[in-house]
């Protein structure tokens, strides 16, 4: 019975921290670059729920049943506070770049049947669209091909 209790409680505790991080990313990274993706799709597409379930069992056991659970509860509160730091603009932007961005080149148009390339950063690859930040600061939204 302890495994079920620790799994459900731990999974909720872990999701609280992860959800807090993703809300900060949505506010400070996605809205900053006008990346118009549905929050639930961003959340579900970028999480490994099997790892979260395993981690949830461990966290739940440590918070509810471990011998030194008071110490682990303090660490959990610290993790919750640290996850709330993504709500600050600088931290949310930095973490968003670290998680989602990748340097790339992209075709931005054609001139006389020749492709025009631009250097920049892929900000996010959603289910249908790719968001590309050119070096001049312009964000391009392109339909993904080959889906």
State pLDDT tens for residues 94-143: 999 999 998 887 766 666 766 667 778 888 988 888 888 887 777 888 78
**CA-to-CA distance for 54 and 50, rounded, in angstroms?**
6
| 86 and 115 within one domain | no
pTM of the model: 0.82
| 108 and 95 within one domain | no
Return the pLDDT at 128. Answer: 87
Return the pLDDT at 10. Answer: 92
Return the pLDDT at 114. Answer: 64
Q: Which domain holds residue 111?
A: 101-143
List CB contacts of 141: < 8 A, sequence separation 6 or more: 36, 129, 130, 131, 132
CB atoms within 10 A of CB 123: 23
| 91 and 124 within one domain | no
| 90 and 49 within one domain | yes
Count structural domains, the chain.
2
From the list 19, 1, 4, 2, the residue with the least C-alpha distance to 53 is 4
| 66 and 9 within one domain | yes
| 139 and 94 within one domain | no
| 76 and 21 within one domain | yes
| 95 and 28 within one domain | yes
| 9 and 79 within one domain | yes
| 129 and 81 within one domain | no
| 40 and 27 within one domain | yes
Task: Identify the band that residue 6 occupies on the pLDDT scale cut at 50, 70 and 90.
Answer: confident
| 107 and 76 within one domain | no
| Domain's final residue, options 99, 115, 131 | 99
């Amino acid at each position: 019975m302890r495994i079920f209790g620790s799994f459900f409680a731990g999974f909720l505790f872990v999701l609280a921290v992860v959800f807090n991080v993703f809300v900060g990313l949505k506010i400070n990274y996605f809205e900053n670059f006008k990346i118009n993706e549905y929050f639930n799709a961003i959340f579900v597409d970028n999480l490994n729920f099997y790892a979260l379930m395993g981690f949830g069992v461990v966290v739940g056991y440590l918070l509810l049943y471990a011998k030194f659970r008071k110490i682990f509860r303090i660490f959990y509160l610290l993790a919750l506070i640290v996850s709330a730091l993504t709500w600050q603009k600088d931290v949310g932007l930095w973490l968003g770049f670290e998680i989602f961005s990748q340097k790339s080149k992209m075709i931005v148009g054609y001139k006389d049947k020749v492709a025009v390339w631009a250097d920049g950063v892929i900000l996010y690859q959603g289910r249908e669209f790719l968001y590309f930040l050119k070096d001049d600061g312009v964000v391009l939204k392109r339909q993904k091909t080959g889906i």
